[in-house]
């Protein structure tokens, strides 16, 4: 989106007033490094946590590694301002106030950050700073604050970019008038494309929605932030959100990719884990000096995308000493060889190049192609420079491989490829494959080569045999290449790891197909989405599946050109599913075909919905295929149910769900938890996922809890999560769940505050293990005394089917 002339004039005038000429280097001349409590603690923040984290910065070496800011997020204040209009730190959490914490942190040679919001209230419902910018900025300055994260909830915005510029520049001006140097972090989730206007307003700006501690979130954020290199530089950084390293939702490989790609993208490095419980591996990732050096390089250039194809991406980042950082990133689910020609990067011409792996410190040399076998979800980062004498450095040898699906009790074919990218021939090459105990790997083509020249490849095929009874899951196969190099015949070994996926047939029962992972998944646009439509190229960007006005909470959102494969092993009998083009993007027609091995059941070209019933008796494989003459048609498999093991057709569909409130008889006595904050409820047929009615909720701008306190305890023993379906109105809304438990009806909530965009719909989910209770209170699912949902932003929101699952 291009800036209009009027907006350019507005930005220019505001920046001219707000930001006087700065001396070199600018504030935040390199991306800020620090800590923020939100990812690990949510609202559970207090002075002790912040002080202990500051202590750990010093004792663990993080301070010496470059981390400086210890930042407090939401929920630090009282719910109301003081009599003088000022924000008041919660005295129970911060008995010495924020000033006392700031003094302590400063005494460690560190800096303190605080959280505010460019709305009437923060995301968690505490006082916001809209219209109070001057007072709040001066308050923070008086306390000694050094960093402000400024959020975007309850913003009263008309949605225009002009309004975003106005609100965030108002705080910029207020900060400048205090005379205190405060790093200003604009946190509006990339909504108004701040990279196009925020240089000179903030030192950093969020480019995406909130990160979560899982691989799809990190992968999606990389895809959004990586193309924005042109907008970053000293004093103005793209911010893809805080680090999740150490929070437990990803593998070590994925966490290293997280850290690597943030460094390559010159992103702020803000730790989001509990450092008091951090493992040695977590601290090693967070404090790796070679990776941090790339992020903090004084040249201040975000790495540019050199290539991006089929889930493999190469980034190139120039460094101040003349080196280049080259990242080979593999977002796919299998080992892949990622390569880039040196001439495609910014490297100057040379006969050979030295590669230093920033994670291992190992050095190799290449002639003209930088290449590596990169594990699934992994990233290899090299620091590269021209090399005069390649004979002194081992050659770079890439080990790659590919293995199809392996059936328990059967086998598969492994293909390996070993490529010499170094200057000079390698000799006595021998390739080996080490498989799990009880498996066998037998080469069916040559796995040895006397000599392998530069850029030559040895390809080998192997027969893999898997014992019967091997459980479904992922199993490592280590592939190694041993060889000799150089005039003296020095020995070397290069290794890579392939993940073998063993599949087994589904268990007996009737199941929502969206709860079963496909063996392979190919889609025309972006990923196949689970229990939502395919909104576009990113993960989790759709709404609830809707065909002909009917809303489905289960299903698979695809586009034309998609194919999903499931292994059935001859154990399943039927698939029944609604199919059609999603209402969110009318188009088509599309043809839906269910293949039971080679037997097809097809819808023919359709645009509205229909139901397909496919006989799967005896089939080993199930395929779902969508085709059309039109590209990018949003095509849904809605409420697909798979029957296996000969169970009766009236058996319950798993996982079982128990509806608590469906609003068929009215509002079901739903009310508001805080009457003074406003809000109202009414039965409505405009949005429903269970029955013919839902609940229309008129929300106050700052939000309220809507729900019901129960006269008798509700027993939800066996349930693991609570869910409800939501459709936002003309403005987006936060969706959150809380329960009351025990005789005292204590409140337990997760603090996740999931956001739904205007006009979009989704299922909001909160696992019981995500709900935090007050000290001394245990969440007993058999004694639920109240169920509540939080909604906000001052518009109408529709909800339905509050349920336990």
Catalytically active residues are: 151, 210
Q: How many CB atoms lie within 10 A of CB 48?
A: 12
Task: Give buried/exposed letters for 523-552 (b at 16+ CB in 10 A, else e).
Answer: bbbbbbbbbbbbbeebbbbbbbbbbeeebb
* Alpha carbons within 13 A on the beta-carbon side of 184: 27
> Which letter does DSSP use for residue 180 in this model?
-
How deeply is 433 buried, as exposed, middle or buried, from its count of CB atoms within 10 A (0-12, 13-18, 19+)? buried
How deeply is 287 buried, as exposed, middle or buried, from its count of CB atoms within 10 A (0-12, 13-18, 19+)? middle
> Which letter does DSSP use for residue 199 in this model?
B
CB 418 within 8 A of CB 492: no
Collect all residues with Cβ–Cβ distance below 8 Å to 775 and sequence separation of at least 6: none
Residue 157 CA, distance from chain mean position:
26
Residue 668 Ramachandran class (φ > 0 left, ψ -120 to 50 alpha, else beta): left
How deeply is 319 buried, as exposed, middle or buried, from its count of CB atoms within 10 A (0-12, 13-18, 19+)? middle
Within 309-442, where are the H helices?
A: none
Rounded CA separation 726/791 (Å): 10
- Pick the closest to residue 671 from 765, 799, 788, 751 (CA basis): 788
In whole angstroms, how far apart are CA 91 and each of 87, 167, 187, 620, 691?
Answer: 12, 29, 27, 64, 48
CB 588 within 8 A of CB 543: no
Using CA of residue 81, residue 86, residue 87, residue 92, what is the dihedral sign? negative
DSSP reduced 3-state for 706: strand
Beta bridge partners of 33: 269
Phi, psi of 626, rounded to the nearest 5 degrees? -120, 130
Question: For residue 57, what is the enclosing H or E element?
Answer: helix 47-59
> Which letter does DSSP use for residue 457 in this model?
E
Rounded CA separation 205/199 (Å): 9
CB 787 within 8 A of CB 707: yes
Cα angle at 394 between 393 and 396, to 5 degrees? 120
CB 786 within 8 A of CB 708: yes
């Amino acid at each position: 989106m291009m800036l209009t002339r009027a907006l350019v004039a507005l930005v220019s005038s505001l920046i001219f007033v707000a930001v006087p000429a700065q001396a070199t280097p600018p504030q935040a001349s390199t991306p800020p490094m620090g800590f923020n409590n939100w990812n690990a603690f949510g609202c559970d923040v207090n002075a002790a946590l912040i002080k202990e984290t500051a202590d750990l910065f010093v004792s663990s070496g993080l301070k010496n590694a470059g981390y400086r800011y210890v930042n407090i997020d939401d929920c630090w204040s009282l719910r109301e301002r003081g009599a003088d209009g000022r924000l008041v730190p919660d005295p129970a959490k911060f008995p010495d106030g924020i000033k006392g914490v700031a003094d302590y942190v400063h005494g460690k040679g560190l800096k303190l950050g605080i959280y505010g919001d460019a709305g009437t209230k923060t995301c968690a419902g505490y006082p916001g700073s809209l219209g109070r910018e001057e007072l709040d900025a001066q308050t923070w300055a008086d306390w000694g604050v050094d960093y402000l994260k400024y959020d975007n909830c309850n913003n009263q915005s008309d949605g225009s970019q002009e309004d975003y510029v106005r609100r965030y520049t108002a705080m910029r001006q207020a900060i400048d008038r205090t005379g205190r140097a405060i790093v200003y972090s604009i946190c509006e989730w990339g909504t108004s494309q701040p990279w196009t206007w925020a240089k000179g307003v903030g030192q950093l700006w969020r480019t995406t929605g909130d990160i979560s501690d899982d691989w799809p979130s990190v992968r999606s954020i990389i895809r959004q932030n990586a193309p924005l290199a042109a907008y970053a530089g000293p004093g103005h950084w793209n911010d893809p959100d805080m680090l999740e390293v150490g929070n437990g939702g990803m593998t070590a490989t994925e966490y290293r990719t997280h850290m690597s790609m943030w460094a390559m993208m010159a992103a702020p490095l803000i730790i989001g884990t509990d450092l008091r419980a951090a493992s040695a591996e977590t601290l090693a990732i967070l404090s790796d000096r070679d990776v941090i050096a790339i992020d903090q390089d004084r040249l201040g250039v975000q790495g540019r995308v050199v290539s991006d194809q089929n889930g493999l991406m190469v980034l190139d980042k120039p460094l101040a000493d003349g080196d280049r950082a080259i990242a080979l990133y593999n977002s796919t689910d299998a080992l892949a060889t990622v390569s880039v020609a040196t001439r495609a990067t910014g490297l100057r011409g040379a006969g050979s190049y030295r590669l230093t792996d920033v994670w291992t410190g190992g050095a190799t040399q290449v002639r003209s192609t930088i290449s590596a076998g990169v594990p699934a979800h992994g990233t290899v980062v090299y620091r590269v420079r021209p090399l005069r004498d390649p004979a002194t450095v081992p050659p770079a040898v890439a080990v790659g491989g590919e293995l199809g699906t392996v059936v328990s009790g059967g086998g598969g074919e492994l293909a390996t490829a070993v490529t010499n990218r170094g200057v000079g021939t390698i000799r006595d090459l021998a390739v080996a494959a080490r498989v799990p105990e009880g498996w066998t790997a037998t080469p069916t083509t040559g796995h040895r080569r006397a000599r392998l020249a530069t850029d030559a490849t040895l390809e080998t095929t192997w027969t893999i045999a898997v014992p019967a009874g091997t459980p479904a899951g992922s199993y490592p196969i280590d592939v190694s290449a041993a060889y000799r190099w150089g005039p003296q015949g020095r020995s070397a070994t290069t290794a890579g790891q392939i993940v073998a996926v063993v599949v087994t047939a589904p268990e007996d029962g009737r199941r929502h197909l969206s709860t079963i992972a496909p063996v392979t998944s190919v889609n025309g646009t972006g990923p196949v989405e689970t229990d939502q439509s395919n909104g576009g190229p990113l993960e989790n960007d759709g709404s609830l599946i809707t065909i002909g006005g009917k809303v489905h909470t289960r299903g698979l959102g695809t586009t034309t050109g998609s194919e999903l494969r499931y292994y059935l092993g001859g154990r399943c009998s039927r698939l029944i599913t609604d199919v059609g083009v999603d209402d969110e993007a009318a188009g088509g027609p599309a043809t839906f075909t269910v293949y039971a091995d080679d037997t097809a059941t097809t819808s023919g070209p359709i645009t509205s919905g229909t139901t397909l019933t496919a006989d799967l008796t005896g089939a080993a494989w199930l395929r779902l295929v969508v085709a059309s003459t039109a590209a990018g048609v949003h095509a849904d498999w809605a409420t697909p149910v798979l029957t296996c093991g000969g169970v009766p057709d009236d058996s319950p569909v798993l996982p079982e769900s128990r509806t608590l409130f469906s609003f068929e008889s009215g509002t079901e006595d739903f009310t508001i938890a805080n009457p003074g904050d406003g809000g109202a409820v009414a039965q409505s047929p405009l949005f429903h996922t269970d029955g013919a009615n839902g609940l229309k909720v008129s929300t106050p701008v700052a939000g309220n809890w809507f729900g019901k306190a129960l006269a008798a305890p509700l027993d939800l023993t066996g349930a693991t999560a609570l869910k409800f379906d939501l459709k936002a109105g003309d403005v987006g809304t936060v969706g959150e769940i809380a329960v009351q438990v025990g005789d005292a009806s204590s409140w337990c909530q997760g603090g996740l505050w999931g956001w739904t965009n205007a006009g979009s719909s989704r299922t909001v989910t909160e696992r019981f293990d995500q709900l935090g209770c007050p000290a001394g209170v245990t969440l007993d699912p058999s004694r639920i005394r109240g169920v509540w949902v939080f909604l906000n932003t001052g518009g109408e929101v529709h909800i339905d089917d509050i349920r336990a699952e």
